[in-house]
A and B are shown apart, each in its own frame.
Chain A
Amino acid sequence: MNAASDPLLRMTGINKAFNGVPALREAGLEVRPAEVHALIGQNGAGKSTLIKVLTGYYRRDQGQVTFNGQSFEAASPQAAQNAGISTIYQEINLVSYRSVTENICLGRERRRMGLLDWKAMHQEAERVLAAFKVKVDVRQPLSNYSTALQQMVAIARAVGFQSKLVIMDEPTSSLDDHEVAILFDVIRHLKASGVSVIFVSHKLDELYAVCDRVTVMRDGRTVLSDELARVSKLDLVTTMIGRKLESAGAEQTAFRRRAHHEASSREAPLLAVRELAVGRRVAQASVEVRSGEVVGVAGLLGAGRSEVARAIFGADLLDKGEMTFKGQPYAPMTPGDAIASGIGFCSEDRKIDGIVPDMSVRENLTLALLPHLTRAGVIDVARQQEVVKNFVERLGVKCAHLDQPIRELSGGNQQKVLLARWLCLNPQLLILDEPTRGIDVGAKAEIQALVGALAADGLGVLMISSEIEEVIEGSDRVYVMREGRTVASLHRREITEDAIMNAMADGSAALHPVGGTSAPVPAEASSRRPATGAAQQAEGKVNGAAVHRDVKEVSTARPAILEGQPPPATLTRRSRAPRDLQTALRRYGTLTALFLLLAFNFAFTPHFANWQTLNVNLTQVCNIVIVGVGMTLVIATGGIDLSVGSLMAIAGALAPLLFLNRLFTVPLPVGLALAFIVPVAMTSLLGYFNGWLITRFRIQPIVGTLILFIAGRGLAQVLTNGNLQVFSMPGFQFIGLARPLGIPFQAILMVLLVVAGHFLLQRSIFGRQILAVGGNDEAARLAGIPVMRVKRLVYLLSGFGAGIAGLIVISINSSSDANLVGLGMELDAIAAVAVGGTLLTGGSATVLGTLLGALIIQLVRYTLLANGVPDSAALVVKGAMIVGAVFLQQKGRAR
C-alpha cells in the first residue's frame, strides 16, 4: 500500500444503537484522498446515522475512525467542520433571506476596526464562488437564486472552511438536469483540488457520472464497497434491496398469495390514472387498480411514488393527467373529495401527516368517520365506542385503553389505528404508502395478512413499498417507477425480483408497456415454500383457515404472533403508574389550586363566605371567561385572537345607538331586540373576517388579528364619535344587572357558554376537528377535515363571545366608552386560557380549564387584596402564574 492510496477517512466496526435498537452494526466506510465516493442504501439502511456519527451529531457506541491519518472523534458538527469535514444537508441549511455573502462568510466575518468589512466579505464570497465558475451578485438574498445555486453556495461555504472532506446528502434531489450538470462540474473541480466527496444519492445514473467508488449499506451494515466501474447498476440495486441472502428462497412476508385474482382485462378498472404529472417529481405515471387486487408500486426513493398517491387522494393537485374512479371521471380537489368517493390513504410518514399525537386512539381511529357518527353535529358516543372497539379487536391494536394518547403506542399499533381509520369507512380503494415501515416483525406480519384478507374481500389496494419481498409476494400486479415515470407494469408470474430490479435500474425491463393491458397470465397457485421466521408462524395460522376470507381471521392469528413477541403495550403499561400521577397532577392541578384558594379564603378571609363577596368575584370573572371560551377554541387550533377587546368595544358602541334610536327610529322593543342581535352579529362577522384573512393569505394569527385590534377600536370610536354614551335602559341592562335567585345574570350566561363550549369541544364533531387541526394540521387535512373552514369558524365564535361580553360591560357601567370597553381583554383571556392548562401551541384544550384559570387568577387577586396586598402586586403574581403554568406544561410534555 503506497502513501497515495492511504485512505483519508477510515471508519471500521462502527456500532450505534438507539434505545437498544441497533442502527449500525459493524459498519465501515473508507474514503481515499481526492475521491468521489458514493454512499447508497435504502431508507433506514444506516447511511445518515453513519454520517451523523462521523460529523459529531451522535456518539458511536463502538468502532474506530481515523481521519487524515489520526484517530478522530468529533464532539459537535462545528468541531467536525473545524477538523475539515463539512456536510451539506439535503434541506439546504442556509438562510434564504440573507445575502449570498452572508451565507458564505457568517461565522468568520472579516472585520475592520471592529466593524464588518463588507467589501472584503463580498470579494471573498466572489472569489470562493469564482473557483466554481459561478458569477453572481453576492449582495442579493440567497432566495433570489435557483436551488442549484443555493447548493453551490452551501458547497462554497463548506469549501471556504478549508474542508478536506465534503459530504453531500442527496444534493440533486431538487435539481433539474442542467443544474445537476453544473453541480457535477463543481464536484469534479473539488476532486481536482484534492478534496474528497461523499455523495449520497438514490439516482443511480448520477453515481456513474461522477463517483469513483461506492459503498452500499443495508440494515446497518456495510455490504459492499468497490470501484464503481466494476459494479453494474443491477448489482447495486440487488445489494441494496434484493432479498436477504440468508433467507433467499423463503417467503418472508405474511402475504398470502391469494390463490388468484381473476383480473381480466375485460373487467373495468376501479381506478385508472393516465399520464399523471405532478410538480417536479412525477412526469408521467399511469396506474390501474381493480377491485380485489393488490397493486404494488416499486421504485427507489424519490422516484415519485408517494407523489402519485397523494395526487390520487386529492392531497396535491395534478398538473396533467386524467383519472377515472368506478368508471366516472374523477378529479378530487381535496382529500375530502377522495374520501367521499370511497378512497382511503395511509401516508408514508405516520408522525408527520398520519396521527394526531395528542388525541386518543378512539379519536384518531374515527377522525375520518366522524361525519357519519354524528346526529346533528353531536358525536354518537355509543356508536363511536362500538366502532372503535370492533376495529381495535379485529386488528389487534394493543393499547392500555381506548383513551390513551396515540403517541404512546408503538409504531405498529399506530399504523393499525390508521388503517382502521380508513377501514371503518368501508372504502373501495385503499392506498398504502409504506404500510410496514418502522414496525416490529409481529405487527408487520399482521398488517400484511390483513391487507391480503381485505383484497380478498374485494377491496382494491394500491401499495407502495420499498421492501421488495413485500411487493413481490403481496402484489397481483406491480408498477415500477423510475424518476417520475411508471416504467414497467408486471403481471403475476412476471413479478420477479430480476424484473423489478431491472426496471428500477434502467427502466429497460418493461415487459408490458404501461398503459396497455396484456392478457393476464393464468393464475396458478404458486408453489408454496416452507415457511420460516416469526412472520411465517402467523402466516401458517392464517393459512390453516385459508378458506374464510374475513378480516376477523387476522385476529385469530394474533395470539400466535404475540406469543413470540412481547407486545409493546406492556412496556408502556409498566411505566404507567408514575405517569398516571403526573397526568392527574396536570389534569387536576388547576382544580386543586382553586380548592386550596377557596379553602384558604373561607378559613382566613373575613366576609369571604358571604353572598355578596362571591357575587363580586363572579361578576368580575364573567367577561374574561365569556371571551376566554372563544379564545380557548381559537388557541386549540394553534391560533390566537388579539382583536377581542376591540370587538367588545364595537359591540358596546353599537348597542346604545340602536336602543337609543341614534341610527334610525324604531319602536323600543324592536330597538332592544336589535341592540342584542346586531352587535353580536357584527362582532361574529368581524371574527369570521379575522379567520378569512388568516386562512386566505396564510398570515400569522398575531398579525391577522392585530389589524382588527387597531382598526376595531377605531371603528367603535368613530361610531360614537368618541363620546361617552350614558343610558338607563332596564330592558337592556338586565344582561349585566339582573340577579335572578340572587345570582348575577351574566354568571348564568357564562355557565351556559362554558357548558356549550365544553360540549362543543368534547362531544361535537366540530370540537374534534378543532383539536385535530391544532394537533396536526396536515394529518387533519388528509383525514378529510375542512381545515380552513374550521379555522374561520373558531374566530367567528371568538367574535361572538366578545360581542356578548361587550354588551355585559356596558350594561354594568350604564354607559359605553369606546376608549375603555374591553381594553386589555385579549391578554386577560389569554392568561386565563394559559393558566387553565390549554396548550398554547394548539391540539389540546379545555374550556372548563379556562373557567378554572380565570377563577384562580381572580381569587388570587382577591386573596391578596383582602390580605392587604395592593392590586398592583397582584399583577406581578399573575405574571408569575402564567409563566409557571406554561413552564409546568412544557416540562410535563418534554418527558
Chain B
Amino acid sequence: MTTTPSSGQVGRLTRMISANSVLVALVLLILFGSVRYPNFLGAFNVLTVLRYNAMFALVSLGMTFVIMSGGIDLSVGAAAALGSVVSALLSSSGLWAGLAGGMAAGGAMGLLNAVAITSLRIPPFISSLATMLVAQGAALLLANNQSVSVSYDTEFTVLGQGDALGFPIPAWIALAAFAAGSLVLNLTGSGRYVLTIGGNEDAARLMGLPVGRIKFSLYVVSGLLAGLAGVILAAQFGAGQPTEGQGWELFAIASVVVGGTLLSGGQGSVLATLAGVLLLGLIFNILNFENGRGWISLSAYWQSVIRGLFLMMVVIFQARLVMRERARR
C-alpha cells in the first residue's frame, strides 16, 4: 500500500509555504530593502543589525526550546539584566570571569524556574513570572539601583564590541549558539524528546522518555542563554543595566511565534526563530532607511505597530491552518 499525505498536493504546498513563511518573508524584506536603499546591504548596516540583534537572538533561542516543550519562560528579560549586572561587576577580573559570572547568574534563575516547575509543579507562566521578579530584584540589589560600568582595563568589552574575521563577535556567539541548538534539536535524542513532550506529554511518558529531566534542563538552558545575552548587553553598551530587559520575554515570544513555532508546543524550528528575530529587527532597520529617504516620515515608533500587525497575521494564518486541519478530521 502506498499512502500519500491525505491533504494532497495543494495541502503540501500551503504547508511548505507556511512552514517556511518566515523565511520567505525575510527574503522578500531583504530584497525590498536592497532594491530600495543603496546602503541596505552595505557592510556597516548588515553588521550593525547583526551585532545589535545578537542578544535578542540568544534569548529567543532559549525561548524556542521552552515553547517547543509546551512551556513558557517570562523571566528571560530580567535574567539577562541580572546577567549584565553580574558580568559588569566581574568584568575587572577579565573576560572569562565576566562571561562565566553572567551566564551563571542567568543559569541560577533558570534553576529556580526548573525547580518550581518540575518539583513544585507550579505552571511555567507563574513560575517564570515570579523568577522574573526575583531576577529584577537581584539585579537592582547588586547594581545598587543604577547601571554598573564595565571595566575597560580588561578584554571584556570585546564580547560586545569586538570583531573576529570581520564579523561582530556577538553575532559569532549567536551563530554558534544557533548552530548548537539546531544540532541538539535535530541530531540528539534530547532534542526530539523536547518536541515529543510538547506534542503530547502523556505519550512521551508512555514512550518511556525522561520527561522531568528534559523539562528541568530546558529552563536551566534558557536561563544560561539569557545570562549570555546579558553579558553581551553589558559588553556592548559598556554597562550592566539592571532595568534593561523589560519586555524582552514578550518580544522573544513574538519572534518564536513569527518563526512558526506553535505556542502550544510540539512543533518548531530553531532556524525559523533566527529568521523571526531578524525579521522583527529588520522592520526597525527599514523604517530608519525609509525615514532617511524623506519620502514619508514614519516615526520609529511605527516599528512596534508593524511588528504587532505582523505577529497578528502570522498567528491568524497559523490558527486557520490548525482549524482547517481539525475540521478535516
Chain A interface (Cβ < 8 Å from any Cβ of B) = 77-78, 81, 93-98, 102, 106-107, 109, 111, 114-116, 118, 133-137, 140, 143-147, 149, 182, 640, 642, 693, 697-700, 702-704, 706-715, 717-718, 721-722, 818, 823-824, 827, 830-831, 834, 840, 870-880, 882-883, 886-887, 890
| Cα A133 to Cα B3 with chains together (Å) | 11
Provide the residues of chain A in CB contact with B195, threshold 8 Å. 95, 97-98, 102
What would be 25 A-B contacts, judged by CB atoms less than 8 Å apart? A95-B195, A95-B196, A106-B192, A106-B207, A135-B3, A136-B2, A144-B11, A147-B329, A697-B319, A699-B315, A702-B72, A707-B308, A710-B308, A711-B308, A715-B305, A718-B299, A827-B129, A831-B133, A840-B125, A870-B145, A872-B137, A875-B136, A876-B133, A876-B138, A879-B130
CA distance A137 to B246 in the complex (A): 45
Given A698-B322, A827-B133, A872-B136, 18 other A-B contacts at CB below 8 A?
A98-B199, A102-B196, A106-B196, A116-B187, A136-B2, A144-B6, A145-B5, A149-B3, A642-B250, A697-B320, A702-B263, A711-B309, A714-B304, A718-B301, A827-B74, A871-B145, A874-B137, A883-B120
Q: Do B141 and A872 touch (CB < 8 A)?
A: yes
- Which among A97, A111, A146, A883 is the interface contact of B127 at CB below 8 angstroms? A883
Q: Is the CB of A706 within 8 A of B1?
A: no
* A714-B307 contact, Cβ under 8 Å, with A699-B319, A702-B263, A883-B122: yes
**Using Cβ atoms and an 8 Å threshold, which residues of chain B touch A94?**
200, 203
Query: Which chain A residues lie closer than 8 Å to B308 at the CB level?
Result: 707-712, 714
Q: How far, in Å, is A771 (CB) from chain B's closest CB?
A: 20
Kindly identify which residue among B121, B186, B199 contacts A97, using a CB–CB cutoff of 8 Å: B199
State the CA gap A551–B311 with chains docked (Å): 58
The 6 closest A-B pairs by CB, nearest first: A711-B308, A714-B304, A875-B137, A872-B140, A717-B301, A879-B133
Name the distance in Å between B312's Cβ and chain A's nearest Cβ.
5
- Write out the residue numbers on chain B whose beta carbons fall within 8 Å of the beta carbon of A871: 140, 145
CB distance from A303 to the nearest CB of B (A): 21
Which residue of B is nearest A881, CB measured? Answer: B130
Which residues of A have CB within 8 Å of B1? 133-135, 182
Using a CB–CB distance below 8 Å, which chain B residues touch chain A?
1-7, 11, 15, 72, 74, 116, 120-123, 125-127, 129-134, 136-141, 145, 183, 186-189, 192-193, 195-196, 199-200, 202-204, 206-209, 246-247, 250-251, 253-254, 257, 262-264, 266-267, 299-309, 311-312, 315-316, 319-320, 322-323, 325, 329
Residues of A within 8 A of B193 (CB): 106
B313 to A, closest residue via Cβ: A707
Q: Closest residue to B299 on the A side, CB-wise? A: A721
The A interface is mostly helix, strand or loop, or mixed, namely: helix
Task: Find out whether the CB atom of B307 lies under 8 angstroms from the CB atom of A95.
Answer: no
Chain B residue at minimum C-beta to C-beta distance from A114: B188
Are A873 and B250 in contact, with the CB atoms below 8 A?
Answer: no
Residues of chain A within 8 A of B137, CB atoms compared: 872-879
> If the complex has contacts A711-B309, A718-B302, are A98 and B192 also in contact, measured as CB distance less than 8 A?
yes
**Nearest A-chain residue to B200, judged by Cβ:** A95
- Most chain A CB within a 10 A radius of its CB, from B139, B188, B196: B196
Contact A706 B316 (CB under 8 A): no
Chain A residue numbers with a CB within 8 Å of B126 are 834, 840, 882-883, 886
A710 interface neighbour in B133, B186, B311, Cβ under 8 Å: B311
Q: How far is the CA of A718 from the CA of B206 in the complex (A)?
A: 52
Q: B residues within 8 A CB of A870?
A: 140-141, 145
**Known interface pairs A717-B304, A878-B133. Does A144 touch B7 (Cβ–Cβ under 8 Å)?**
yes
In the complex, are the beta carbons of A93 and B202 less than 8 A apart?
yes
In the complex, residue of chain B having the shortest beta-carbon distance to the beta carbon of A113: B187
- Residue from A106, A693, A830 with most neighbouring chain B CB atoms (10 Å): A106
Contact of A707 among B74, B315, B323 (CB under 8 A): B315
B195–chain A nearest beta-carbon distance, Å: 6
* In-complex Cβ contact of B208 among A81, A145, A824, A831 (8 A): A81
Residues of A with C-beta under 8 A to B203: 93-95
Q: Provided the pairs A707-B308, A840-B123, A883-B130 are in contact, do residues A116 and B192 lie with their beta carbons within 8 angstroms?
A: yes
B209 smallest CB distance to A (angstroms): 6
Structural contact, A109 and B189, CB atoms closer than 8 A: yes
Contacting pair B2 A135 (CB below 8 A): yes
What residues of B have a CB within 8 angstroms of the CB of A145 in the complex? Answer: 3, 5-6
| Chain A residues whose C-beta falls within 8 Å of the C-beta of B306 in the assembled complex | 714
Q: Roughly how many angstroms separate A834 CA and B257 CA in the complex, as a whole number?
A: 26
Residues in chain A near residue B121, CB distance under 8 A: 890
Please name the residue on chain B nearest to A719 by beta carbon: B301
Beta-carbon contact of A143 and B129 below 8 Å: no
Question: What's the Cα separation between A496 and B246 when bound, in Å?
Answer: 73
CA distance A143 to B138 in the complex (A): 45
Cβ B266 vs Cβ A95 within 8 A: yes
A708 nearest CB neighbor, chain B only: B308
Cβ contact within 8 Å between B122 and A698 = no
Give every chain A residue within 8 A of B319 (Cβ-Cβ).
Answer: 697-699
Smallest CB gap from A882: residue in B: B130
> Which residues of B are found within 8 Å of A874, using beta-carbon distances?
137
Residue of B137, B262, B306, B307 with highest tally of chain A CB at under 10 A: B137
Smallest beta-carbon distance B315→chain A, Å: 6
The reply to whether B299 and A886 form a contact with Cβ atoms under 8 Å apart is no
A715 to B134, CA, bound (A): 31
Which of A146, A693, A834 is B312 in contact with, Cβ under 8 Å?
Answer: A693
- State the CA gap A870–B142 with chains docked (Å): 11
- A94-B209 Cα distance, complex, nearest whole Å: 13
A97 vs B11: C-alpha distance in the bound complex, in angstroms? 15
- Expressed in whole angstroms, the Cα–Cα distance for A872 and B136 within the complex equals 7
B251 touches A710 (CB 8 A): yes
**Nearest CB of chain A from residue B37's CB, rounded to whole Å:** 22
Q: Is the CB of B302 within 8 A of A714?
A: yes
Residues from chain B with a CB closer than 8 A to the CB of A818 are 301
- Which residues of chain A are within 8 angstroms of B125 by Cβ–Cβ distance? 640, 702, 840
Within 8 Å CB of A700, what residues of B?
263-264
Do residues A872 and B207 form an inter-chain contact, with CB atoms below 8 A? no
Chain B residue numbers with a CB within 8 Å of A827 are 74, 129, 132-133
| Residues in chain B near residue A77, CB distance under 8 A | 206
Chain A neighbourhood of B311, CB < 8 A: 703, 706-707, 710-711
Q: How far is the CA of A140 from the CA of B305 in the complex (A)?
A: 36
Most buried by B among A144, A697, A699, A879: A879
Q: Considering only CB atoms, which chain B residue lies closest to A819 in the complex?
A: B301
Contacts of A890 in B (CB 8 A): 121-122
Chain A residues whose C-beta falls within 8 Å of the C-beta of B254 in the assembled complex: 706, 710
A711 to B307, CA, bound (A): 7
Chain A residues closer than 8 Å to B202, beta-carbon distance: 93
- List chain B residues, Cβ under 8 A from A111: 189
Return the chain B residue nearest A89 by Cβ. B206
Selected from B139, B199, B312, the residue in CB contact (under 8 A) with A96 is B199
Inter-chain contacts of B2 with A (CB < 8 A): 135-136
Q: Kindly identify which residue among B7, B189, B199, B301 contacts A714, using a CB–CB cutoff of 8 Å.
A: B301
- Give the interface centre of B7, B133, B145, B257 by most chain A CB atoms within 10 Å: B133
Closest to A718 in B: B301
Nearest Cβ on chain A to B205's Cβ, whole angstroms: 9
Q: CA–CA, A697 to B254, complex, Å?
A: 17
Does the CB pair A882–B133 fall under 8 Å? yes
Q: Smallest distance from the beta carbon of A720 to chain B beta carbons, Å? A: 9
Residues from chain A with Cβ under 8 Å of B186 in the complex: 116
Query: In the complex, how many angstroms separate the beta carbon of A227 from the nearest chain B beta carbon?
Result: 31
* Cβ of A59 to closest chain B Cβ, rounded Å: 18
The CA-CA distance from A818 to B300 in the complex, in Å, is 13
Assembled-state Cα–Cα distance A721/B300 (Å):
9
Whether A886 and B123, one on each chain, are in contact in the complex, defined by CB atoms closer than 8 angstroms, is yes
Of all chain B residues, the one with the shortest Cβ separation from A182 is: B1
Of B4, B11, B250, the residue contacting A706 (CB under 8 A) is B250
CA distance A94 to B5 in the complex (A): 17
CB of A116 within 8 A of CB of B200, answer no
- Which of A97, A693, A703, A880 interacts with B257 by CB under 8 Å? A703
Cα of A517 to Cα of B329 in the assembled complex, Å: 37
Q: Which of A115, A140, A707, A875 contacts B188 (CB 8 A)?
A: A115
